[in-house]
Amino acid sequence: MIPSSLLGAAVFFGVLAMLGWLLIRETLRIVLKPLLIFVVLALAAVWAGILDGTVVEQALAWVGDRLILGATALSDWAVGAFETAAASAPPGGGAS
């Protein structure tokens, strides 16, 4: 005889697996369609000579520059916020 707790666990995990599969399948369907269109257009542009190595390199360099600028600005802001908080703290760390 199969224990009822084992049967209940199997049904529970089966339902979780079905829900997980449904979510993964729908997510992939939503994400992969635009990605597939982008890849096909990029390959067509490369084949037609519109998108060559220099254009790709310039685009990647632009994205990299923006990421570095964003990280620098974020770190500058964090340092400024920390220094402001440290300067306005009472002497002795505020312990009462």
pLDDT digits (tens, 9 = 90+) for 64-84: 999 999 999 999 999 998 888
Q: What is the pLDDT of residue 54?
A: 74
Residue 67 to residue 13: CA distance in whole angstroms: 42
Residues 53, 49: Cα–Cα separation, whole Å: 10
**Least confident window among 32-36, 53-57, 64-68, 71-75:** 53-57
Answer yes or no: pTM beyond 0.75.
Answer: no
pLDDT bracket for residue 11 (50, 70, 90): confident
